[in-house]
Structure 1
């Protein structure tokens, strides 16, 4: 039984590359063949809802800190820039479950 695939990238290095669905993105626990895999943002696999939720919270905290730092730097911009920024549409980044 094959456990993985080998790729030739040129040169003399013939090491085995891992597939992105082999381990949890957060805790690196191996993903089982008959277990659920919880996906987030397209192609990021997690072993449990808890690991996925922790990553979601990490991403939200990063996004919040980016918004705070960008809002503090934009406070020195003109009122015309603020009006243009407030007219931009919001984009939702919810999690979608597919069975």
Structure 2
């Protein structure tokens, strides 16, 4: 094991995994003990503000894409529902009924 990297034991013999604060989540660069670590969304470490900002921008783009897909499917669903209601209204007969 490297003295610079912190490892944790996973429960199985000879099964040591690197600690999540050992490397940048975006570029994989090693996070030194004497340097700042830039965190995002609780437990995601980055080596620099630039890496963190890039991840934020990628996440925002994914969320916008997801939102657009969701809103477009909602619009098409609303259009189908409106069309179905229109068809039901056409099937209803209107007029005067005389009862004797």
TM-score by length of 2: 0.67
Which is higher, the Rg of structure 1 or of structure 2?
2
Task: Give unmatched runs, 5+ long, in structure 2.
Answer: 80-100
Distance 1:28 1:64, change over 3 A: same
Which position in structure 1 is the counterpart of 2:71? 71
Distance 1:9 1:54, change over 3 A: same
Residue-pair matches, total: 77
Provide the rounded CA distance (Å) in 2 between the counterparts of 1:53 and 1:76: 35
Distance 1:15 1:57, change over 3 A: same
Which position in structure 2 is the counterpart of 1:49? 49
Query: Which string of whole-angstrom CA distances, capped at 9 and with x for unpartnered residues, describes residues 56-90 of structure 1?
Result: 000000000000000010003449xxxxxxxxxxx
2:5–2:22 Cα contact (<8 Å) kept: no
Superposed CA RMSD: 2.1
TM-score by length of 1: 0.68
2:22–2:31 Cα contact (<8 Å) kept: yes
Task: Flag the structure with higher strand content.
Answer: 2
